[in-house]
Structure 1
Amino acid sequence: MQEPSVNTSATTSRAVRLESFGGPEVLNIREVPAPQAGSGQIRVRVTAAGLNPMDWFMTSDADTATRFGLSLPSGFGTDYAGVVDQVGHGVTGFAAGDRVFGGALSRAVADYVVIDVAGTIAAGGDAHHTPDGVDDRTAATLAIAGCTAAAALAVVNPGPGDTLLIGGAGGGVGVFAVQLARLAGARVIGTGSATSADALRALGAEPVAYGDGLADRLRALAPTGVTAAIDLFGTDTVRAARELGVPDERITTIAAQVDGITPANGANAAPGAIEEIARLVAAGRLRVPIAASFPVERIRAAVELQAGRHVHGKVVIDL
């Protein structure tokens, strides 16, 4: 068993806090007491935090926040990467100085975050060892988007011989879904704007413009048909897939509920899925484009950019 280690040098921590729910304008950096690792916990000195749409969606209003178990004052951000600097009693598998990454629901954008080593992203946080060859900015993008992509692919199970349609393929989850589907041997067609076409091609997808007439454009691009579909944005891709005869059991969504369609949730990703994604990144078989990085002092600008939903890749906060 790892002997407890205690670093008491830090007594305060910068943390992004919300005293009211709303948009980027309610995000503020506060000095708060540095959290301390208790039994079964580790404390991580955060070096980078990746942003996701769920971060600002959860904190946009009180009713939505309540659905996710959040109350005021609230933290912000979920994906993190950093270095273990405290190890509590009873912890095995982690030592001070270990590089780690993971998720801590709505509290990751802070100098320090305490993680329950037996927890989940939504309850206590989770931590995984960062492989050599994966920098902290990249590691800080993996947890939410990687788990969500893995869960979506598990629903539709693409493989050689499949033509997979991914709606919103240029976003944070799409970055992972496209590449994982290609690694599984599927042909991938990704919807996006005209400005995202080159980024989609770089990931291995064939770009197609979203919007009215999508089904007709898909018929021209894939005359032999589309066999599976993942809608990462809303329901337009679901409608097009159904129009092309894709069976409901091979369609999934992450941001909408559609009768007859099984939704995907990153919390249901298979055990080991995120570690496998990290290994693929370390091996150079999966890349994560970082669209922009911001110092924590510019958290509002970073969230405004990410919430615009036109970023090709991930947005990261440096701490």
Structure 2
Amino acid sequence: MSEYTMKAIRQHAFGGPNVLQYEDAPRPTMKAGEVLVRVQAIGLNPPDWYLRDGLKILPPEWRPPVHFPLILGTDISGQVADVAPDAAGFAIGDEVYSMVRFPSGFGEAYAEYVSVPSSDLAHKPAGIDHIHAAAAPMSLLTAWQFLIEEGHDAPNPLQSTPHMPVPLEGKTVLVNGAAGGVGHFAVQIAKWKRAHVTAVASGRHEAFLRDLGADAFIDYTRVAPEEVMHDVDLVVDAIGGPTTARFLRTLKRGGALFPIFGLGASGGDEAAQRGVTVSTTQVRANGAQLEKVGRLLNDATIRVAIDSIFPLTDARKAHERAAEGHIQGKIVLTVK
């Protein structure tokens, strides 16, 4: 392999995991303000399989043009290999992590090298390895931007008003889908902010979530959380979508429902009648926020749970694992 090529997972058509091919690809060239990163690990996220399959989950008018061959992925951890002259704050050899270009472009993270806008990049927390760092960015930034600070003023594509986090200290918080990528971070952030947290997941995740700080647990396979929870201040629905309105009945007047996946969410009229807020937003790349949350990762205030690890060559198997569901934490690819 020459200095101009690398190994990557590419696809030449939309489809299932079988379209993912491990092959040679051109090594990316840096543009102004970018940093070239030698990738050590890659975190998987739902947008990866949505894009792999053709973004069928989005309305047609929201689907960006896609050109093949396509490289999936946004979340990486690795070492700086080169720095553009106008990209300040990073030096060759620095250990870094990032959510690359999301949602404004394609991160092309399933590869040995990735070019990253310096504004999307942060120094990897020294207290965690590349696997755990790569698993964090999108899921942790999503939880952070929903619960602590949105961190940008871009128009909200999912609602007419900006998303506004709510105070958490002393409040009761219900986290649905608590064992997954965003959910397990939402539990920890709410506890860090001194909320009382009830986690909702299948029973096999109870010990895991209580270890992360959950005060109470509901096994949704045995009881519907909306039937037993009342007077909640905030529901973080890490699953979201069309079923999220069922949580309106759990909220007290003045409470809020945050569906992480806002597409298809309904219940506006009922929310108004009940005097509660439904608010969602789109996570955006933010290197400064990754520097900030990196301090919480470094001292283990927030921990990253790993569901499974696959080599880059087995990206197809990693996507098959994702399709099985019931993920505890994050799936990660490693690069040799």
Q: TM-score, normalised by structure 2?
A: 0.82
Assess if the C-alpha contact under 8 Å between 1:254 and 1:264 holds in 2: yes
Give 1:204-243 correspondences, 5 Å limit: 204-205=213-214, 206-210=216-220, 213-219=224-230, 225-235=231-241, 238-243=244-249
Deviates more, 1:45-54 or 1:226-235: 226-235
Alpha-carbon distance in 2 for matches of 1:248, 1:53:
31
Q: Does 1:46 align with 2:22?
A: no
Assess if the C-alpha contact under 8 Å between 1:168 and 1:232 holds in 2: yes
Q: Does 1:193 align with 2:202?
A: yes
Distance change (3 Å), C-alpha of 1:274 and 1:165:
same
Amino acid at match of 1:311: I
Distance change (3 Å), C-alpha of 1:209 and 1:248:
farther
Cα deviation for residue 237 of structure 1 reads 7.1
Cα deviation for residue 241 of structure 1 reads 3.0
1:150 is matched with which residue?
Answer: 144
Give 1:68-217 correspondences, 5 Å limit: 68-104=64-100, 105-118=106-119, 126-154=120-148, 155-205=164-214, 206-210=216-220, 213-217=224-228
Cα deviation for residue 24 of structure 1 reads 0.9
1:35 is matched with which residue?
Answer: 28
Cα deviation for residue 235 of structure 1 reads 4.8
Deviations along 1:125-169, one digit per CA (max 9) or x if unpaired, are x21111222211111012110110012214442422211011101
SS at match of 1:96: coil
Alpha-carbon distance in 2 for matches of 1:214, 1:239:
13
Distance change (3 Å), C-alpha of 1:273 and 1:249:
farther
Alpha-carbon distance in 2 for matches of 1:287, 1:20:
36
SS at match of 1:227: strand
1:19 is matched with which residue?
Answer: 12
Deviates more, 1:137-146 or 1:69-78: 69-78
Cα deviation for residue 247 of structure 1 reads 4.6
Deviations along 1:239-295, one digit per CA (max 9) or x if unpaired, are 3431123457611112133353211321287x8432222110101211111121111
Cα deviation for residue 31 of structure 1 reads 0.3
Assess if the C-alpha contact under 8 Å between 2:308 and 2:332 holds in 1: yes
| Count of residues in Structure 1 that have an aligned counterpart in Structure 2 | 299
Deviates more, 1:54-63 or 1:18-27: 54-63
Distance change (3 Å), C-alpha of 1:217 and 1:237:
farther
Q: Which runs of 5+ in 1 are unaligned?
A: 1-7, 119-125, 220-224
Deviations along 1:184-221, one digit per CA (max 9) or x if unpaired, are 000111111111111111111222122663223325xx
Q: Which runs of 5+ in 2 are unaligned?
A: 101-105, 149-163, 269-277
Cα deviation for residue 63 of structure 1 reads 5.0
Assess if the C-alpha contact under 8 Å between 1:291 and 1:313 holds in 2: yes
Distance change (3 Å), C-alpha of 1:183 and 1:28:
same
Alpha-carbon distance in 2 for matches of 1:133, 1:307:
31
Alpha-carbon distance in 1 for matches of 2:136, 2:50:
19
Distance change (3 Å), C-alpha of 1:283 and 1:318:
same
